[in-house]
Amino acid sequence: MKALKILMCFVALFAMMSCENDGPIDDDGSITEDSIPSVKTVVEYYNCFNLVENVRANTSATFDSPRYIFSLVQETDSASVLMKNVKFAERMPAIDMLIKDLKYGTDKETGALLITGSEIVPVVDGKPYEDFVVTTFRCEIRDYGLAYLPDMSIVFTINNMFRVTVIPTLTYYYGTTTVVNNANKSTYETTDPIYKVVIDPQNMTADITLHKARFAASMPAMDMSFKGVAVTPYNTGYDLKCDSLIPEIGDVPFPAYQITNLEGAEKFLDNMKLNFDCMSIYSVSAQLNSWPIVNQE
């Protein structure tokens, strides 16, 4: 029943398509959303980039602008995913790749929707592409209810060699922010700020915006931006780090509010921890959870 409720939310949520096409591939051999048979629900995931790790060569690369279109068939608890604009190496051209014969179910502990599969030959240009084998595939989707995109984690391997982690480029966070005033040793705690993290996968930097930021009860709430923070992605999340930066308030730099020792750690489907110092007086520590994003499509 939980899985059905989640799917019903998806029906109302995403730019969904109900398809009656029973043919696996279009007549011209191309792969499109309509190529997927007996579709009941289609879920799209975008605003992300791929971290590709070559586990044999111990190298990694990032590739931006992929798109994942999940097709869920309730009657058979089966799923497909159309991966658009994906590549696994610098010299490889971007392709569209269809993975069928996936299974989905519900995690009994978290209620998350799980989509899994292994040892699957994908479809490329209308036919099986046997140079690639999807060794493992796992997608976990958290249900936030109507009107929001879900929180998702997607990890898969190709040829038991390329490990691909899908990383969001836009995330909102909420939680508890604790501020220690090192001058008078007082502590201030608030749940008002909303944190927005936007990652630029080409430069591997992030802009962090604090909405309603304040570091003391008497301080007026303001929107403060930290730009150009270094991002280090990995297969379960990413780290944020910057030794020193000048924040912006209303797009105006404020050197008096210098930020130092900024460090953050995001764990997918879990939490974000963010710490920094302001003006060498305030030590800020935020324990955050991801905030659902309104679907714009």
Average pLDDT, the chain: 86
Overall average pLDDT of the 191-220 stretch:
95
Confidence of residue 46 (pLDDT cuts 50, 70, 90): confident
Which of 170, 202, 188 minimizes the C-alpha distance to 266?
170
Which of 4, 142, 18, 20 minimizes the C-alpha distance to 74?
4
Q: How far apart are CA 278 and CA 283, in angstroms?
A: 7
Q: How far apart are CA 192 and CA 34, in angstroms?
A: 44
163 pLDDT exceeds 50? yes
50 pLDDT exceeds 80? yes
Query: Which architecture characterizes domain 170-294 according to CATH?
Result: Beta Barrel (2.40)
Q: How far apart are CA 69 and CA 84, in angstroms?
A: 8
pLDDT of residue 14: 40
Instruction: Look at 76-90, 95-109, 136-150, 255-269 and tell me which has the smallest mean pLDDT.
Output: 136-150
Which of 127, 116, 129 minimizes the C-alpha distance to 88?
129
pLDDT of residue 4: 37
Q: How far apart are CA 117 and CA 98, in angstroms?
A: 13
pLDDT digits (tens, 9 = 90+) for 4-29: 334 434 443 343 444 444 433 444 44
Angle, CA 37 vertex, CA 34 and CA 40 arms, to 5°: 85
Overall average pLDDT of the 23-47 stretch:
58
- Which distant-in-sequence residues (6+ apart) come within 8 Å of 204 by Cβ? 62, 230, 231, 232, 233
CB 165, CB 233: distance < 8 Å: yes
Q: How far apart are CA 166 and CA 109, in angstroms?
A: 23
Report the SS3 class of residue 239.
strand
Only one residue has tokens 């190496």, namely 89
Which of 196, 165, 192, 166 minimizes the C-alpha distance to 179?
192
Neighbouring-strand partners of residue 180:
187, 283
Q: Where are the domains of the chain?
A: 2-167, 170-294
CB 212, CB 229: distance < 8 Å: no
pLDDT of residue 21: 42
Report the SS3 class of residue 11.
helix
Predicted model pTM: 0.82
More confident call, 8 vs 204: 204
Instruction: Look at 42-51, 174-183, 254-263, 281-290 and tell me which has the smallest mean pLDDT.
Output: 42-51
